[in-house]
Amino acid sequence: MSFPDGFRWGVATSAYQIEGAARLDGRSPSIWDTFAAVPGAVANGDTGDVAADHYHRWPEDVRLLVDLGVDAYRFSISWSRILPEGRGRVEQRGLDFYRRLAEALLSKGIEPFVTLYHWDLPQALEDLGGWRSRDTSGWFADYAATVHEALNDVVTKWVTVNEPYCSSIVGYGEGRHAPGAREGHGALAAAHHLLLGHGLAVQAMRANGAPGQEFGIVLNQSPTVPVTDSPADVAAASRQDCLLRRQFTDPLFGGAYPDELTSMFGAITDFSFRHDGDLAIIGEPLDYVGLNYYYRLHVADAPHREPDPAKRTAHDIGVDTTRLPDVPRTGMGWPVEPAGLTIALTDLKARHPDLPPVYVTENGCVYPDTETFEDHDRIVFLRDHIAAAEAAAGVDLRGYFCWSLLDNFEWAHGYKHRFGLIHVDYATQKRTPRASYHWYRSFIEAQRTQGR
Ligand code: BGC
């Protein structure tokens, strides 16, 4: 395979999934601390209280990154560590933690890619309405400006929001993620306010005036495929695509919300959360966009779970996504379709020819472990997906980040599913690199040699 000069090879993690130290150094609870404490919300009653204890073990994790030979490391900042009340008072110990980490990375030639919001809203702000409330967009921008002001000498690559679809529709519509709400209007308002918060945050960080800074957003992009070519299935796939992809990409890169979104949800919301001028803020030009790809969605038309259109959540769009094709599946049950990554990349570019440069900011898988951590399935998965990324002709692709460096708290699945290149024994916190870690290191090394 051959990738352009300067292409960044990396790995990704997020704060709540790896840090632990949930009550240390002034950190306040986030919506994930609250949600994980609800019986039945997370498999096995797991919480992020300790996770992979990265808050204490980060020097060892940096050594593992150095040995892996990556150019870049994508991690997220816990809003609750920086602003325990979500706004106002700044907790210096939080900023110090991320400064130490960024400095250690830089000293080893690893570029930090910082995500400001990977799903862990301070609970104090959820108590005021969370992402349903327009105020949260402004508080997010204030938080972003605070972090940016403090760290722009050691971080130049910023991601505002990770997968606003999951934070809004999965968190406030489906209720499978924090805060566990099942709403219509509220979930759609959350989606809009995440986008608005993103735009305001980019503007606020740019206003700091630091040189050489780059700003982007990360979107999950599962291409949809109708299970048959019947008009009903084709329409269902289009609704799914509208909810998951176009609700976000159209306003970000096309200056407008899709009409289909308005017609899909006219019964449950008046969209009064959209104000004049918002689209200009949401459409603030970006330096790059991050694309996360795990699987394609195979969509069939299906009866709505709630017969009364006025009572539906934003998650109930009358689709069935369980009719999978006869292809191998990962340990998550997700279909393995590397070509979906090529399609995700080329589709986005085709719909938005002026798209900024792109990074694959997450891609990875879960497979059952062998005793010696010889995860050949993961190696094949990664190799095939990297090849699929390379095949995305016409896309200005600048880097690829594997999810994830370490096994971690896999949200509602708890610790059961392991995405790491490195195995974590949660009883002892011992890290053991899997075969895929060694493979990725050799792969990156070979790419570098080829480029010389
Ligand atoms: C999220 C990660 C998550 C991964 C695997 C992505 O949607 O950004 O936090 O662990 O998928 O489910």
Q: What is the pLDDT along the chain (452 residues), one digit of tens a residue?
A: 889 999 999 999 999 999 999 999 999 999 999 999 999 999 999 999 999 999 999 999 999 999 999 999 999 999 999 999 999 999 999 999 999 999 999 999 999 999 999 999 999 999 999 999 999 999 999 999 999 999 999 999 999 999 999 999 999 999 999 999 999 999 999 999 999 999 999 999 999 999 999 999 999 999 999 999 999 999 999 999 999 999 999 999 999 999 999 999 999 999 999 999 999 999 999 999 999 999 999 999 999 999 999 999 999 999 999 999 999 999 999 999 999 999 999 999 999 999 999 999 999 999 999 999 999 999 999 999 999 999 999 999 999 999 999 999 999 999 999 999 999 999 999 999 999 999 999 999 999 888 66
**Residue 198 belongs to some domain of the structure:** yes
**Residue 98 belongs to some domain of the structure:** yes
What is the C-alpha separation between 277 and 281, in angstroms, rounded? Answer: 7
Confirm whether 103 is a catalytic residue: no
The CA 386 to ligand 1 mean position distance, Å, reads: 18
Determine if ligand 1 sits within 6 Å of the CB of residue 13: no
Give the position, in ligand 1's atom list, of the atom nearest the Cα of 413.
Answer: 12
Give the position, in ligand 1's atom list, of the atom nearest the Cα of 364.
Answer: 5
The CA 97 to ligand 1 mean position distance, Å, reads: 23
3-state secondary structure of 429: coil
In Å, how far from its chain's centre is CA 367? 20
Determine if ligand 1 sits within 6 Å of the CB of residue 162: yes
Determine if ligand 1 sits within 6 Å of the CB of residue 377: no
Question: Given ligand 1 and candidates 403, 404, 413, 415, which is best to mutate, with the most ligand atoms within 8 Å of its CB?
Answer: 403
Determine if ligand 1 sits within 6 Å of the CB of residue 163: yes
**Residue 32 belongs to some domain of the structure:** yes
Q: What is the CA radius of gyration of the chain?
A: 21
**Residue 3 belongs to some domain of the structure:** no
Question: Which listed residue (19, 126, 163, 410) is catalytic?
Answer: 163
State which amino acid sits at residue 343. I
**Residue 228 belongs to some domain of the structure:** yes
**Which token pair is 97?**
């933690």
**Residue 343 belongs to some domain of the structure:** yes
What residue numbers bound the domain in which 215 lies?
A: 8-451
pTM of the full predicted structure? 0.98
Question: Which listed residue (174, 337, 362, 410) is catalytic?
Answer: 362
The CA 13 to ligand 1 mean position distance, Å, reads: 9
3-state secondary structure of 37: coil
**Residue 1 belongs to some domain of the structure:** no
What is the C-alpha separation between 152 and 328, in angstroms, rounded? Answer: 44
How many domains does the chain contain in total?
1
> Residue 409 is part of a domain; what is its CATH number?
3.20.20.80
Confirm whether 362 is a catalytic residue: yes
**Residue 86 belongs to some domain of the structure:** yes
Q: Within 10 A of 6 (CB to CB), how many other CB atoms are there?
A: 9
Can you say whether the dihedral through the CA atoms of 60, 61, 67, 73 is positive or negative?
Answer: negative
